[in-house]
Structure 1
Amino acid sequence: MSHLVVFSLYDDFDSVFESYCQENLKVFVEKNATTIECANKTIKNERNLFQAAWRYKFVQLQCKHFGSYASRSSGSRPDTE
């Protein structure tokens, strides 16, 4: 059985999601996001603008511990002997 919950504002979702993360010791980061301010800049017809009360047009949340570790080290330190 699936539970579908619809939030009218991102802040409502965010408060519920923060509670979930604290209860389950999960950490999520915003991987990809398009803010409403940025999305509205590309819309020419003012009737089609997104509501300013929303925070994002699109947001992708990802667990901070997702994926495998990839070192960025080159293996050498400059200016050391």
Structure 2
Amino acid sequence: MVDYEVTETLDVKGQNCPMPVVKTKQATDNLDEGDILEVLATDPGSMSDLGGWAETTDGVELLDQTDGEDVYTHYVRKTE
């Protein structure tokens, strides 16, 4: 696992689709270019949902996703 210089952490544990994506979008809107958002989710669907969102959204890059025992961690960088 890579250690990222996380700018902000977003806790969406206990929230199901589409809220992890909605909240991630809102959080990245408030970041500066190059900032990294760490997203903590318990919804297994967040792995594909956030991946798909990042692929189709300009200005963000999904750096990594990890599948923990109970928590899925996503790292999103604002690119513009």
Please indicate, yes or no, whether the TM-score normalized by the shorter chain is above 0.5. Answer: no
Q: Which has the higher strand share?
A: 2
- TM-score, normalising length: structure 1: 0.31
- Rg: which structure is higher? 1
